[in-house]
């Protein structure tokens, strides 16, 4: 979200970002229960409920079908990218997962429930956030808004229960700041932090309630290449260490390629899903877009897409067509091979 120089607007932006977390938190009354981590682990891979499941799903806005036939299963701790050209409906897919927009057809389940019903277990980072340099709110306070940004009323301090909850919350805020590597600057004003530092703090905010699903809308947008690489590595590490499934909209797959389990590639009316090796191929993308598309692999493992309506994995800056990609990022075949084998077919529907 862009913020102008008016500091009031900037404060509004903080609230709006917190509201992003709160949208995900839904009407869940924040409290000690939300800090309990005992029910959020992957259960050694035996969890019977997929975190996200789409079966033949399609979406439409203003009577226009954006994409359709999406089949996707995201298991606990998996990292999935949503790819496709500008305006194809990537953010719309996120709206469907959050329950903001109903699917036009097919079935969508999030943590075994209808979208929107499991809000407290979803951390959400909306698209295009930034803070004005004059904003004085500290990073740690922005993270804390992820815990209590949706809490109304004045708490009654002094009680043992209140104090215990405050301590637990404080511990969690510090823990998650440490997790994203933001301890060195979390007590500075957020407006003084760099774009990459702000992004880490916002990821901490989305994680602070220990969500089982992290939904990120272009979190690498507007970061320089080194920051794209380090934030991508952070998200990949968190998906494993915190057992949180990640669904991330991306315009350039290369920074996240080493960490991905699956991709969903959206095209006008259709979609393809599967492992990156299955989907990001000359054959699959040519079929999907109905026009010749060539996928080239550079010697350092980067993927370059040539042709088609747009080359979404080609460029790191979504506003230029320059063939710049992430730092060396070979596909970690062993990582992909080590993941759950189910759902690995490239589905195509058009």
Ligand X SMILES: Nc1ncnc2c1ncn2[C@@H]1O[C@H](COP(=O)(O)OP(=O)(O)OP(=O)(O)O)[C@@H](O)[C@H]1O
- For ligand X, the binding residue among 37, 86, 159, 291 (CB under 6 A) is 86
**Using CA atoms, how far apart are residues 291 and 318, in angstroms rounded to an integer?**
22
Q: Which position has the token pair 């977390």? A: 21
Per-residue binding letters, 185-214, with ligand X (x by CB under 6 A): ------------------------------
Say how many residues touch ligand X, by CB under 6 A: 11
The residues near 131 (Cβ < 8 Å, ≥ 6 apart) are: 3, 10, 13, 14, 190, 191, 193, 198
Residue 238 as a binder of ligand X (CB under 6 A): the answer is: no
CB 138 within 8 A of CB 154: no
The residues near 194 (Cβ < 8 Å, ≥ 6 apart) are: 227
- DSSP strand pairing (347-349 vs 52-61): unpaired
Minimum CB separation from ligand X for residue 9, in Å? 22
Stretch of 88-96, 115-123, 190-198, 299-307 lying at the interface with ligand X (CB under 6 A) = 88-96
Q: Which two tokens stand for residue 40?
A: 């959020």
- For ligand X, the binding residue among 3, 23, 88, 260 (CB under 6 A) is 88
Minimum CB separation from ligand X for residue 36, in Å? 34
Residue 90 as a binder of ligand X (CB under 6 A): the answer is: yes
CB 293 within 8 A of CB 286: yes
CB 253 within 8 A of CB 303: yes
Q: For ligand X, which is the closer residue by CB, 142 or 311?
A: 311
Minimum CB separation from ligand X for residue 127, in Å? 6
Minimum CB separation from ligand X for residue 214, in Å? 18
Residue 316 as a binder of ligand X (CB under 6 A): the answer is: no
Neighbour tally for 316: CB within 10 Å: 22
Alpha-carbon Rg for the chain, nearest whole angstrom, is 20
Residue 91 as a binder of ligand X (CB under 6 A): the answer is: yes
Minimum CB separation from ligand X for residue 298, in Å? 24
Minimum CB separation from ligand X for residue 321, in Å? 15
Tell me phi and psi for residue 9, to 5 degrees.
Answer: -65, -35
Minimum CB separation from ligand X for residue 185, in Å? 28
Minimum CB separation from ligand X for residue 271, in Å? 12
Residue 87 as a binder of ligand X (CB under 6 A): the answer is: yes
Q: For ligand X, which is the closer residue by CB, 84 or 196?
A: 84
- For ligand X, the binding residue among 34, 92, 198, 222 (CB under 6 A) is 92
Q: Which position has the token pair 């063939």? A: 323
Q: How many residues does the chain have?
A: 350
The residues near 171 (Cβ < 8 Å, ≥ 6 apart) are: none
Residue 247 as a binder of ligand X (CB under 6 A): the answer is: no
Per-residue binding letters, 270-299, with ligand X (x by CB under 6 A): ------------------------------
Residue 89 as a binder of ligand X (CB under 6 A): the answer is: yes
Q: For ligand X, which is the closer residue by CB, 91 or 344?
A: 91
Q: For ligand X, which is the closer residue by CB, 87 or 330?
A: 87
Site for ligand X in 47-66 (CB under 6 A): 61-62, 66
CB 15 within 8 A of CB 141: no
**Using CA atoms, how far apart are residues 294 and 304, in angstroms rounded to an integer?**
8
Stretch of 85-93, 147-155, 159-167, 267-275 lying at the interface with ligand X (CB under 6 A) = 85-93
**Using CA atoms, how far apart are residues 335 and 294, in angstroms rounded to an integer?**
25
**Using CA atoms, how far apart are residues 78 and 247, in angstroms rounded to an integer?**
8
List interacting residues with ligand X (CB under 6 A): 61-62, 66, 84, 86-92
């Amino acid at each position: 979200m862009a913020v102008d120089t008016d500091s009031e607007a900037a404060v509004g932006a903080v609230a709006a970002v917190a509201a992003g977390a709160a949208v995900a938190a839904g009407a869940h009354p924040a409290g000690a229960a939300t800090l309990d981590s005992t029910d959020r682990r992957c259960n050694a891979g035996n969890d019977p409920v997929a975190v996200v499941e789409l079966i033949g799903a399609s979406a439409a806005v203003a009577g226009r079908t954006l994409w359709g036939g999406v089949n996707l299963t995201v298991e606990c701790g998996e990292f999935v990218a949503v790819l496709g050209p500008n305006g194809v409906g990537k953010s719309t897919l996120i709206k469907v997962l959050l329950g903001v927009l109903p699917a036009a057809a097919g079935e969508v389940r999030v943590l075994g429930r209808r979208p929107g019903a499991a809000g407290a277990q979803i951390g959400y980072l909306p698209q295009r956030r930034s803070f004005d340099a004059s904003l004085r709110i500290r990073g740690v306070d922005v993270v804390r808004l992820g815990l209590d940004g949706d809490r109304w009323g004045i708490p009654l301090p002094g009680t043992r229960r209140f104090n215990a909850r405050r301590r637990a919350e404080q511990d969690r805020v510090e823990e998650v700041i440490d997790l994203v590597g933001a301890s060195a600057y979390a007590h500075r004003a957020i407006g003084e932090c760099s774009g990459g530092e702000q992004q880490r703090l916002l990821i901490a905010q989305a994680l602070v309630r220990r969500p089982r699903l992290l939904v990120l809308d272009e979190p690498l947008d507007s970061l320089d290449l080194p920051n794209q690489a380090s934030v991508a590595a952070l998200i990949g590490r968190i998906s494993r260490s915190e057992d949180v499934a990640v669904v991330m909209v991306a315009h350039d797959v290369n920074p996240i390629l080493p960490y991905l389990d699956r991709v969903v590639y959206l095209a006008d009316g259709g979609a393809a899903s599967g492992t990156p090796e299955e989907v990001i191929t000359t054959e699959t993308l040519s079929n999907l877009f109905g026009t010749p598309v060539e996928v080239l692999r550079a010697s350092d493992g980067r993927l370059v897409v040539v042709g088609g309506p747009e080359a979404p994995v080609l460029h790191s800056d979504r506003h230029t067509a320059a063939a710049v990609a992430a730092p060396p990022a070979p596909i970690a075949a062993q990582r992909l091979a080590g993941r759950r084998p189910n759902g690995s077919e490239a589905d195509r529907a058009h």
